Every structure is written in structure tokens, then in C-alpha cells.
Amino acid sequence: MKTTPTTFQSAFEEDVYKGLTSFPKYLLSKYIYDEKGDKLFQQIMAMPEYYLTNCELNILKKHKSAIAEIINKKGGFDLIELGAGDGKKTKVLLKELVDKEYDFNYLPIDISQSVLEELENSLKNEIPEINVKIQQGTYFKTLENLADYSNRRKVILVLGSNIGNLLHENAIEFLRNIQEAMTAEDMLFMGFDQKKDPQKILDAYNDATGITEAFNKNLLTRINKELDADFNTDNFIHWETYDPESGTAKSFLVSKENQKVAINKLDLEVSFDAWESIHTEISQKYDDAVVEWLAKEAGLEIQTSFQDNNNYYKNYIFRK
Ligand code: AVJ
């Protein structure tokens, strides 16, 4: 009999312990993003099946002038981006704001310091006119301290349908935190992937080349690396479901056989029955009614929205 460790050395350790000793088992998707996970996600964004990136890029390209005018309507601002990543899509908007000679600073926030430094360097080369200040941290932590590094009107940017990783309850909490950091002059510009042909969604999260599989399995690889465990990733399959009623895409890792895995750093042995699952991620899909409801619950209002030609994806502007 193993005993529950009384102290964990990190939130990662504690969350892995909790998730793998629960029934049914789960792991938190935020832990996919170590250096290898960041790279795999970049590869996902470049795959043809992962339509989200191109949809949002096209929305920004097509509507950049209108979007720029709306966000600059009340004059100078700090453009604060949560989860900036490689900034590929944001650069379309940044370029437009610079071309229009608007007075703004760009404050990208990301959990990954290396991703931020790459972004900062690429901006120096591509759009040197921009005043950039990078900030490493998680969404929630940095939102709490927003006032410490921004004292201007705020335009908050959350692209990529990143909110989709949150259950509605947590999405409302996230939106409410943003709302509480906003004044009546501030704006929130956010991307929401829309409900669509279920097959299109399944293909985006279960590509034939196996990039998403590797991305999902990186949770196990990371546990092996950081917590001295012996997961054999070949003994698990990547499984994706989409419920068209709730709009929830769910990722799992399913054990192909009866097996035991040692996680030495946690002093834990985890048993898997054949075909037992680990739930790893949700990627929520939305429609206007759900976005309106989330906004209302969080004390926000939709000012306007922009969509691509197929209505696969939508960017909404919210006010307090
Ligand atoms: C980064 C949360 C937007 O859910 O679409 C991509 C992550 N997972 N493929 C998403 C992801 C599997 C992605 N987000």
C-alpha cells in the first residue's frame, strides 16, 4: 500500500497525483505545453486539418481595418494579449495599427518564456516601430496584476479559441476576471471556434499524421521525464469524441491493455484496466447563444463580431 504524499514539490506533481488516483482518471491539458508540447502545438497550427488558425487569420486579414478602428476609437491604448504564442495572427493586426499610426503598446503574456522571447525578436525584425513589453505568466496570475504594468486604456486580446479548454463554469470565471480588470472604456477581443460539421471537428483533433496524438501523449512523456515514470506511450491510443449537443470535443488516452505504471517521484503505482481511459482535454465549440450567455454571466456585453465565410469561427468584441 502506498501512502498519499503529504507534500508535493509543485502544482504539476499534485495535479498528476490527483488526476491519476481519481476515477475516472484525468490529466490537465495545460501540462501538455512544455518545450516539446509548444513545438507540437505549432505543428498542429500548421496542419491543414486544424482549420482554426486559418479561419482566424482570414478574419483578421479581411477585417483588420474595421477592427483597428473600433479598438482605437477612444484613443491610445495598451494591447494586452493573453496566450500570445508565436504571434502569427496578431502581427496582421499589429501591422495595421502601425500603418494607421495609432498610439499603442503591445504587451504579450504567455506561459512560455522562450515563446515570448522568440516573439519579441521577430517583432524587432518585422515591425520595429512597435513598443513591446513581454510578460511571462499564467492568465489568471497576470490578470490579477494587470494594473501593475498597464496604466492606459486596455484592449485585451485572446485569440485561438483558447477559452475552449475551459468548462463553461471556468470560462465564466475567466471572463469575469477579465471583466473585473476592465473599465468602461476597455475592450476584450476574443476568438470562439463555432459548432460545425462534427466530422470537420473530429478531423481537426485526430489528424491522420498523428501530430495531435503525439501532442496528447506528451502529457505521459512529460510525466516520464519530470516525475521519473515509465509510461510506454505505445500502450495508449489517442481517442477523440465530439458531442454535437453540448459542442464539446473531448480527448482521451485509452489504455490498450491491463498495465501498471510506476511514477517514482510520486511514490505511486498506477494500474490501468484494458480500455480504461484518461481524459486529457476539452475543446469547446460555441454558437452565438452560448457566447451571449457566457458574456452575460461574466458581466460583459457583445459589441460586435466578425466571422469567416463558412462561419466556422468567430471573433467577438466585448465591453463591460
Ligand atoms: C490551444 C486550446 C485552442 O483546443 O483547439 C489543439 C489545443 N488541442 N489540438 C484547441 C489543441 C488539440 C487548442 N487550443
8 A C-beta contact, residue 32 and residue 218: yes
Ligand 1 centre distance from Cα of residue 70 (Å): 28
pLDDT (mean) for 160-186: 95
ipTM of the complex: 0.99
Give, as one character, the DSSP assignment of residue 119: H
pLDDT of residue 3: 56
| H or E segment and range at residue 51 | helix 51-72
262 vs 146, more confident = 262
8 A C-beta contact, residue 235 and residue 257: yes
Residue nearest to atom 4 of ligand 1 (CA): 283
Ligand 1 centre distance from Cα of residue 267 (Å): 31
The pocket around ligand 1, CB under 6 angstroms, is made up of 44, 52, 160-162, 164-165, 205, 212, 215, 281, 283
pLDDT of residue 5: 63
Residue nearest to atom 14 of ligand 1 (CA): 162
- Crossing angle between the packed helical segments 35-46 and 211-227, to the nearest 10 degrees: 180
Q: Which of 143-147, 168-172, 245-249, 272-276 has the lowest mean pLDDT?
A: 143-147
Query: Which ligand 1 atom lies nearest to the CA of residue 41?
Result: 6
pLDDT of residue 31: 96
Ligand 1 centre distance from Cα of residue 184 (Å): 31
CA atoms within 13 A of residue 111's CA, in its CB half-sphere? 14
Grid coordinates representing 315? 471573433
pLDDT of residue 4: 66
pLDDT of residue 6: 66
Q: How many CB atoms lie within 10 A of CB 185?
A: 15
pLDDT (mean) for 90-116: 94
| Sheet strands (E) in the chain | 25-26, 77-82, 104-110, 131-132, 135-136, 154-158, 187-193, 236-243, 248-255, 259-263, 268-272, 277-284, 301-307, 313-319
Query: Which ligand 1 atom lies nearest to the CA of residue 165?
Result: 2
Residue nearest to atom 9 of ligand 1 (CA): 205
Query: 98 pLDDT band (50/70/90 cuts)?
Result: very high
| Sheet strands (E) in 84-214 | 104-110, 131-132, 135-136, 154-158, 187-193
Query: Which ligand 1 atom lies nearest to the CA of residue 193?
Result: 5
Ligand 1 centre distance from Cα of residue 209 (Å): 16
Entry pTM: 0.94
Residue nearest to atom 10 of ligand 1 (CA): 283
- The end-to-end CA distance of the chain, in Å, is 53
pLDDT of residue 1: 45
Provide the sign of the torsion angle of the four alpha carbons 221, 223, 225, 228, taken in this order.
Answer: negative
Q: Could you report the per-residue pLDDT of 296-319, keeping only the tens digit for each?
A: 999 999 999 999 999 999 999 999
Ligand 1 centre distance from Cα of residue 312 (Å): 15
3 state SS of 131:
strand
Ligand 1 centre distance from Cα of residue 283 (Å): 6
Phi first, then psi: give them for residue 65, nearest 5 degrees.
-70, -45
Grid coordinates representing 305? 463580431
